[in-house]
């Protein structure tokens, strides 16, 4: 109960500070990693109604605590960078509350992520996936990977930022942090499964108080536009290209119903 209370208090501060933080300049500069995502987005029933061909891949993004469902910022540069680097993709935002209810939030998001993968693969079995999770969203991704309901060979890469589940000395780790542990890593049992480690970057930087347990919230809010983000985009694009193997988009196994 004490650990949950600490987690709730600290991550609630992320929501408050994230909402109050000024817009980062890099998000307003044309030509960087944060180009408008609307051309890539398809969510919910739109997939069944509007899809006319299968994408080569889909970036599934899980936002952090307090971020808007429609326009989250924490993962924006990574998602857009991947979509710009590898043609034929699109973005889906995990549907979950992203509130300070951390006892149920990650599990709720994980169910939506798994459902999304299952829905896409029903008509597009060759489509690959990249998962991106920031803060509580990283918990969503790791929870989904541990569920056992995902087709591992369809997941090309996973990028995590500032994960409360972060632990030192693990092969998937990236970023500058070398010590500490995430504020939800105590007895949670949720770590990246070994089968995903080779295609995951779990990015935690020194001073991020959410993934290392000490420091400041400023470091936790500092991944967007950083060198760590650029490295993560390059990593994910490389893994994705390897998984795609030069493949091209194919038609769905069943024609989608279109009411447009």
In a domain, 250, yes or no: no
Tens-place pLDDT, residues 85-137: 999 999 999 999 999 998 999 999 999 999 999 999 999 999 999 999 999 99
Q: pLDDT-derived band of residue 16, with 50, 70 and 90 as boundaries?
A: very low
User: What phi, psi does 192 have (nearest 5°)?
Assistant: -60, 125
* Residue environment code for 226-239, b if the CB has 16+ CB neighbours within 10 A, otherwise e: bebbeebbebbbeb
In a domain, 254, yes or no: no
Residue 23 above 50 pLDDT?
no
Residue 43 above 80 pLDDT?
no
Cα–Cα distance for residue pair 197/213, rounded to 1 Å:
22
Cα–Cα distance for residue pair 37/9, rounded to 1 Å:
32
* Lowest-confidence segment of 38-52, 62-76, 165-179 by average pLDDT: 38-52
Q: Given the structure tokens 């709720």, which residue do they identify?
A: 108
Tens-place pLDDT, residues 221-256: 999 999 999 999 999 999 999 999 955 444 433 332
254 against 167, higher pLDDT: 167
Give the CATH number of the domain where residue 232 resides: 3.40.50.1820
In a domain, 252, yes or no: no
Q: 154 is in which domain, residue-wise?
A: 2-244
SS3 category, 93: strand
In a domain, 25, yes or no: yes
Q: How far apart are the first and last CA of the chain?
A: 50
Q: By the 8 A CB rule, do 98 and 138 touch?
A: no
31 against 252, higher pLDDT: 252
SS3 category, 250: coil
* Lowest-confidence segment of 8-22, 58-72, 161-175, 192-206 by average pLDDT: 8-22
Q: Report the helix count and the strand count for the chain, using DSSP H and E.
A: 8, 6
Percentage of the residues of the chain whose pLDDT score is greater than 70? 74
Q: pLDDT-derived band of residue 50, with 50, 70 and 90 as boundaries?
A: very low
The whole-number pLDDT of residue 120 equals 98
Q: By the 8 A CB rule, do 222 and 176 touch?
A: no
In a domain, 94, yes or no: yes
Mean pLDDT of 4-30: 41
Measured in residues, the chain has a length of 260
The whole-number pLDDT of residue 189 equals 75
- Of 105, 113, 27, the C-alpha closest to 71 is 27
Q: By the 8 A CB rule, do 173 and 232 touch?
A: no
Could you tell me which residues come within 8 angstroms of residue 242 by beta carbon, excluding any fewer than 6 positions away? Answer: 156
Residue 46 above 80 pLDDT?
no
Mean pLDDT comparison of 2-6, 32-36, 185-189, highest-scoring range: 185-189
Cα–Cα distance for residue pair 151/114, rounded to 1 Å:
9
In a domain, 257, yes or no: no
The whole-number pLDDT of residue 233 equals 98
In a domain, 140, yes or no: yes
Residue 57 above 60 pLDDT?
yes
Q: pLDDT-derived band of residue 186, with 50, 70 and 90 as boundaries?
A: confident
Tens-place pLDDT, residues 126-166: 999 999 999 999 999 999 999 999 999 999 999 999 999 99
Residue 217 above 80 pLDDT?
yes
User: What phi, psi does 254 have (nearest 5°)?
Assistant: -130, 135
- Of 124, 153, 132, 128, the C-alpha closest to 57 is 128
* Residue environment code for 22-55, b if the CB has 16+ CB neighbours within 10 A, otherwise e: eebeeeeeeeebbbebeebebeeeebeeebeebb
Burial of residue 168 (number of CB atoms within 10 Å: 0-12, 13-18, 19+):
middle
The whole-number pLDDT of residue 102 equals 87
Tell me how many domains the chain contains.
1
Tens-place pLDDT, residues 68-79: 999 999 999 999
User: How distant, in Å, are the alpha carbons of 189, 223, 258 from that of 173?
Assistant: 17, 15, 43
In a domain, 258, yes or no: no
């Amino acid at each position: 109960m004490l650990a949950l209370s600490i987690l709730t208090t600290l991550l609630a501060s992320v929501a408050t500070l994230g909402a109050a933080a000024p817009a980062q300049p890099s998000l307003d500069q044309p030509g960087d990693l944060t180009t408008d995502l609307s051309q890539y987005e398809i969510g919910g029933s739109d997939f069944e109604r509007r899809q006319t061909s299968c994408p080569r891949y889909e970036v599934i993004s899980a936002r952090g605590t307090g971020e808007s469902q429609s326009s989250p910022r924490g993962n924006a540069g990574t998602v857009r960078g991947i979509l710009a680097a590898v043609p034929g993709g699109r973005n889906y935002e995990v549907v979950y509350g992203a509130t300070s209810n951390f006892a149920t939030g990650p599990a709720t998001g994980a169910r939506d992520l798994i459902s999304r993968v299952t829905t896409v693969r029903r008509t597009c079995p060759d489509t690959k996936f990249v998962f991106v999770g920031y803060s509580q969203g990283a918990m969503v991704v790791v929870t989904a990977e541990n569920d056992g309901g995902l087709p591992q060979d369809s997941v090309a890469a996973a990028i995590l930022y500032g994960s409360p589940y972060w632990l030192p000395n693990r092969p998937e780790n990236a970023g500058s942090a070398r010590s500490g542990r995430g504020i939800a890593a105590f007895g949670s049992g949720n770590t990246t499964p070994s089968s995903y480690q080779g295609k995951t970057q779990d990015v935690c930087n020194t001073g991020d108080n959410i993934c290392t347990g000490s420091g400041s919230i400023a470091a936790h809010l500092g991944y967007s536009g950083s060198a760590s983000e650029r490295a993560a985009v390059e990593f994910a694009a490389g893994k994705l290209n390897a998984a795609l193997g030069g493949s091209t988009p194919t038609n769905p196994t069943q024609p989608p119903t279109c009411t447009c």
